[in-house]
Structure 1
Amino acid sequence: MASQGARATTGSICSSETEKATHTFQISGYSQHCGLGVAKYICSTRFTIGGHEWRIRYYPDGANEECKDYVAVHLEPMSQLTKVRLVYDFKLRNQATSQLSYTSISSSSAEFTADGPPTCGTDEFIEKNELEKSRYLWDDCLEIECDVTVIKESRLREIAIRPYTFHVQVPPSDLSDHLSVLFSSGQEADFTFTVQEETFRAHRLALEMRSPVFKELFRQQPRDQRTACTSSIKIEDMEPAVFKALLHFIYTDKLQDQDGHKNEEMAKNLFAAADKYAMARLKLLCGNILSKGLTVQSVTDTLALADKHRCKELKDACIQFTISSKRRMADVLSSEGYRKLKAACPAVALEMLEKSEMFKAAIINQVPEGGRPAQVNGEGSACADHDEGEHVDLLRLL
């Protein structure tokens, strides 16, 4: 009988390389492009993805007669192609919130060949009537964002095959779950907080470990009370629900789930509490929530809050949200919130203006070579580039 030698084990793997990129196409003067005609389009500049050049086609009056009531967007290759596969989607930016919140297609795939269709995209991107009533059209401006992933040729390579070995599956850490139970049960708690009419039991060591302010607060207690299980502190300036959320974060390093408006209100209150108790991570987490919910109506209040609690990151986010759009800037400066901000935090209001390109242009227009303010429409308006009825004299807002 022939001897049985070692059995050879070989392997290979097939993988696809991809290249991703995003191109933003801004349509300035939307109304001027309407009436261009069915199947007529304007194009973005060329951009390169996956070794090929592309551009976006924008059809303001529809790509064909059947879809003339819709705006159409297509992606067009500008390089000579043999065969290219890709995944793409088009989105509109809500310029009131600066969020990408509209898409009529999501992650559609396409394949270009030498004798195939010249473009890919959607002929019914958004109905024109819907677009013209929406916040996607702002200051007669439209922003289209196209995400493209080019799928390159598959590659085949050899790999080493390791003998299969049995292993023990390790679950994810559940430490925060156990600490949450410890907090909610109050087991072995050695300290009590009173907030209005509610009491909360906690563990001195956990609070000292997470907050230097709590550590100092405990240190200042009389020595005979430091080891007493009945030690208590009254919290005067906080709602019970906010203090409970603060303790929950101290134990678990997680925020409690909230919905909608409650989430934003809790974030504001926790933001202030995090500053008071020197909890930097909690402060930034709350700042992140507030920055994502910015609107023309809320940005000045949030900016004042960020300045009060010395959060540069949230302050910068508020300023950039405001000055990134001329229309949004004009709306904010005309709001009651801005008047309150200017009265309460004049330095912050001035900082926001100084970072605005509109303000820089206003300085130039108001003080020409002769040193006298320029007159626009006989009123010396600093915003000569705004539509009639939207003039905001920035220098008078100082």
Structure 2
Amino acid sequence: MADVLRVALAGLGTVGGGVIRVLDENRELIARRAGRPIEVVAVSARDRLKNRGVDLSRFAWVDDTATLADVEADVIVELIGGSDGPALALARRTLAAGKGLVTANKAMLAHHGLDLARAAEEAGTALKFEAAVAGGIPVIKGLREGAAANAIGRVYGILNGTCNFILSKMESEGRDFAEVLAEAQALGFAEADPSFDIDGVDAAHKLSILASLAFGTAPAFDAVEISGIRHLLAADIAEAAALGYRVRLIGVAEAGASGLFQRVHAHLVPSDHPLAHVTGATNAVVAEGNFVGRLLFQGAGAGAGPTASAVVADLIDIARGEFGPAYAMPADALATTAAADSGERRGRAYLRFSVADRVGVLAEIAAAMRDAGVSIESLIQRGASAEGSVLVAIVTHEGPERCVEHALERLRGSQSLTGEPLWMHILA
């Protein structure tokens, strides 16, 4: 058997501890599959004394994470997190030293992935990041290798388990967002500051990585249109169900003649679509290839076991010598594509208004829709709330998104509206 693949591990949180446990428990199986043993030789984290449930005494301890790249190791695993700071410094130093880099850091890849890919190619070493998107689901490998012969028309999916847990709970129990978020925080599904998740940023980081792999474009996180789920009401979930839909936070990317379209937004998903049945903290990604058809990747999108499994899978690939360009083609071959104008996209929409309970309000909304060229498929008004406002829900026929934007602009500042309108796209 070949020499040991020596690994240095930065970050000993849930995933870092999980990586050590996977390598320990499946040691013989991993060695047979990799063609050689894989061993952790050094670790680094902020707190040396914290009990992590694994024996760290057998590893060299490095206090300064940035210098972990200097130890006698073949691969550095970066599990620190953050788009910049220590994680980026370690990544750059690792690749400059000609060592392989495995990371679960979607924020760093979304912002600096192209530069890191170039650095890896120049050094002739590996940059691997299966764990950065959808935890234990092998979607990176699936797009980069399994679907490599296909032109991908669209990639989309449920990319954030926290949001999906919240939406599933709202759906099954009829509870409002704030109440379910508090429960998710208590159970550890949501952070104390959940903004990164519930405002769609985490999903957008992942979407920009998937889009690059799917379409051969440079990662373009800044071009992702992002909104989250914090303004959803239990009434929106119930209305969607009555119309035959379920609400999911969907990241969707398409490349076309007008450029690259990327969006993270709450969608109404038809109840017969596979994504409508993805519940809890599960993730799911759909890729549509011109020869393979529709591929569905589904499974645990986070957690110690699934994410550590993806990290170790990358280590096995490196041990075998199986690695190529990080984004499926050389960095210089990745296209720099303009962002597509979302206003030109055609689709159906769900619009919810909170309005004053008085005569003429519906006529005002209908007139704004008419004048903007929005065709209404259905309009539903629900009873008055304790505050005296009513909810009005509209489903539009298919049309340009710009028309909906114009209609909402016409209603902006209207004395009839008692709250900000909510716009959700209907997944086609």
Higher relative contact order (CA 8 A, sep 6+): 2
**Interval of TM-score (by shorter of Structure 1 and Structure 2):** under 0.3
Bigger Rg, structure 1 or 2: 1
